[in-house]
Amino acid sequence: MAPYRTTRRPLAALALALLVCVAVVAMVWQRHQQVSAEAYGGATHLTIAGRDVAMWKPAGASPPTGFPLIVFSHGFTGCNTQSTFLMQALAGAGYMVLAPNHNDALCGTARSHSSFGKIFGLRPEQPFGDPEKWSASTYLDRRADIESVLDAALNGPSFQGVPIDPNRVGIAGHSLGGYTALGLAGGWPSWKDARIKAVLALSPHCSPFVQKGDLRRLGVPVMYQGGTLDMGETPLVERPGGAYDQSSTPKYFVDLKGAGHLAWTDINRRYQDLIDAYSIAFFDRYLKGETKPDPLAPLETKPLPAQVSDLRVDLR
């Protein structure tokens, strides 16, 4: 396989804006109002350092060194059960999955009778459209949430009866959770956690890192996923000099045809199988070390899946 491959579509002039607006958040909230706790992907809820954490235990027999661990960070005003389709798929593929509720969480176990009213009063710590105002102190509490989960899960040879391999830890995040994941991978050098070995950034809020961060020295594999209708975030990943270009290798970018910002949540089922396939293959390659055959190879072979409009791979 060549070290760099692209099937990129022409770039349009796109305005930078975050598509987590009040109407979208309301849709997510209403959806979660209608389902029971058991419907949240079979998650078990734990309390770690005062934080609600959703847990999906891995399927199958334990590897000799223990199961790989993936920590998931949800989007702005989302919750730890916003993307249960992916959490279930990862657990089914043999990963221990833990997902904390951050302070801005509004759905799932974070939901209350006043949650709908809170939607209209919530504001990000800094404007999403003004990356110059962001710094390593922005959403520092999210870093603390992930660190608390990792500290608890890796404190001994097992966690909640599941043996964990401390050398095979990945992080995934959607939207503001993608910002959290990239920050902990080293996008903010002061956030970097050397325990993290692979990063899955799903429509991530990345403009602060493009403008002021240190993506060139992440030093761990990263896969970006975006969508052609995700006007607020994907352009900052795919544009020349954007997050993908700036990131260290190995790196991947998968652009889903017609996908908007919520394609990575349970609210949109259209892309779930494809998201699962690319995400699991990425972690299988870089956390499980599967190379013969490379689990990503079938997904990189032309013709690409019909719902993929752009695929970039740089292994140099």
Q: Which domains does the chain have, with CATH numbers?
A: 14-314 (3.40.50.1820)
Q: What's the pLDDT at 20?
A: 42
**pLDDT-based confidence at 276, cuts 50/70/90?**
very high
Instruction: For 38-88, write each residue's pLDDT tens digit.
Output: 445 689 999 999 999 999 999 999 999 999 999 999 999 999 999 999 999
pLDDT at 30 over 80: no
Token look-up 């660190």 returns 147
Determine the average pLDDT of the residues in 299-316: 96
Q: Cα 1 to the chain's mean position, in Å?
A: 26
- Work out the percent of the chain whose per-residue pLDDT is above 70: 83
Asked if 102 contacts 145 with a C-beta cutoff of 8 angstroms, the reply is yes
Instruction: For 125-181, write each residue's pLDDT tens digit.
Output: 999 999 999 999 999 999 999 999 999 999 999 999 999 999 999 999 999 999 999
Alpha-carbon gap, residue 200 to 221, rounded angstroms: 9
Helical pair 84-92 and 272-286, crossing angle rounded to 10 deg: 40
